[in-house]
Amino acid sequence: MATPVIMPRQGQSVESCIITKWNVKKGDKVKIGDVLFTYETDKATFDEEAKVEGTVLDIFFEEGDDVPCLTNVCVIGNEGESTAEFDPRNKDAAASEKSASEEKSVSAPVETKEVPAETPAPAAPVSSGDRIKISPRARNLAERTGVDIRFATPTGPEGRIIERDIIALRESGPVVTPAAMSEYMASGISPMTSGTGLGGRITTADVEAGISATAVAASQFAPAQKPEAEFAEVKLTNIRKVIAKAMHNSLSTMAQLTLNTSFDATEILEFRKKIKETKDRMGLENITLNDIILFAVSRTILNHKDLNAHFLDDKMLVFNNVHLGIAVDTERGLMVPTLFYANLKSLNEISREAKALAESCQKGTISPDLLKGGTFTVTNLGALGIESFTPVINPPQTAILGVNTVVQRVREVNGEYVYYPAMGLSLTFDHRAVDGAPAARFLRDLKTNLENFSALLAK
């Protein structure tokens, strides 16, 4: 029996995923557990395995396509079985025909009989400089179906493109994959009448080839250049686009201010040394300095609740528990998984969960549900030798703590100058939600707790 394979939903907030690689093709035999395709959300990458044994009867999407969650992606079954009932493209076509009939009944109440005609060829493309008149409903359908509206023949009032024009164009004109659409429309290349994808769809590879061809043509009129390339063009990954958008939004919508201080790290360094010597015998995790910082933050910040909050323009959500965001550096970019209810967990539990979250991020298998819900974030650049920096807040949080490296400093003790290990802390806060003095008091209390860490553990 034919069995459809759907695009999984990785977390409640994920609406669609991009297919990055197909490991099978139509007609291949697969067994249970074989990897069918690889897909990614904006933060993580996953493999989808076959749940049944059989033949890949049909594949509905290509690499690079952005597929809504729970949509049929391919079908596995016995050779010769029909897959039409599982094809999501058939459902889209049916919905489009229904919309067209509804629009026709509204715009043309007087029924007229016409002689059936052959499907017209696509019209000549509209110049990119010309303004295209198109109804919102037609534009929405065009975006969903992936057609190039520049080929549409307008039949609406005053040369306006309406929905039936998009439906007609889909039957005769070029169709662009979702992954290629934005680059295709913004590339400036000449409109294409067909592509190399399924059914003649224009893919990202076609767009890149068109851009290259345009560059080659232009180079014929350009002066001789150096043999070495001046630069390399690197397409942004989805996660980099998300990071860029989030950071720009943070800095452009908040009143961010950073306070810097340092504390005597003698006690936590001694504590860390004892843990390393006894952890195996006592069955403890390899507790790091960062784990100690996380623990101290979780016990300190509830006395400064405006920093453990979300700022929502006209109101604030002040949380009674601490859900710590932990900045993690990965090959794909910065990720911030959440350690929920950190204030209720022991130092050993915090250490174990923080390492598990970091490992999932670095492998690209982190659940999207673990990349949200943070109430306060800690980011540590101390291992890279950074003495001070300005962390950027993760909206709608009201603050973020940066942890710096340990440096040797001098202070006077009983008339003599002595060296001590100082660790820096950089607190960025949203001045719309928190004033400077309350933020400084949090740093002061955190400093006291870290310098007296054994006493903090005893509470």
- Provide the CATH topology of domain 3-86: OB fold (Dihydrolipoamide Acetyltransferase, E2P) (2.40.50)
pTM over 0.75: no
10 Å CB burial of residue 157 (0-12, 13-18, 19+) is exposed
Q: Which of 47-56, 194-203, 301-310, 347-356 has the lowest mean pLDDT?
A: 194-203
Q: Quote the CA–CA distance of 353 and 138 in Å, as a whole number.
A: 49
- Provide the CATH topology of domain 240-458: Chloramphenicol Acetyltransferase (3.30.559)
Alpha-carbon distances of 160 from 131, 140, 153, 168, 172, rounded to whole Å: 11, 14, 9, 14, 19
Q: CB atoms < 10 A from the CB of 112, how many?
A: 5
Q: Is the pLDDT of residue 350 over 50?
A: yes
347-363 and 289-300 helices, crossing angle to 10° = 120
- Report the pLDDT value the prediction gives residue 298, as an integer from 0 to 100: 97
- For 426-441, the pLDDT digits (tens) are 999 999 999 999 999 9
Domains 3-86 and 240-458 share a fold: no
- Residues 127, 133 contacting (CB under 8 angstroms): no
Mean residue pLDDT across the chain = 84
Catalytic residue positions? 431, 435
The rounded Cα 222 to chain-centroid distance in angstroms is: 39
Give the chain's end-to-end CA distance (angstroms, integer).
Answer: 62
Task: DSSP letter for 161, please.
Answer: B
178-186 and 204-219 helices, crossing angle to 10° = 20
10 Å CB burial of residue 231 (0-12, 13-18, 19+) is exposed
| Identity of the amino acid at 173 | G
Q: Which of 177-191, 295-309, 313-327 has the lowest mean pLDDT?
A: 177-191
Domain boundaries, the chain: 3-86, 91-104+119-219, 240-458
- For 410-420, the pLDDT digits (tens) are 999 999 999 99
Alpha-carbon distances of 29 from 35, 54, 242, rounded to whole Å: 12, 6, 37
- For 48-91, the pLDDT digits (tens) are 999 999 999 999 988 888 888 889 999 999 988 888 888 887 76
Q: Quote the CA–CA distance of 55 and 71 in Å, as a whole number.
A: 20
Q: Is the pLDDT of residue 206 over 80?
A: no
Residue among 53, 60, 59, 73 at smallest CA distance from 1: 53
| Percent above pLDDT 90 for the chain | 49
Phi, psi of 353 (to 5 degrees): -70, -35
Q: Quote the CA–CA distance of 281 and 275 in Å, as a whole number.
A: 10
Q: Is the pLDDT of residue 114 over 50?
A: no
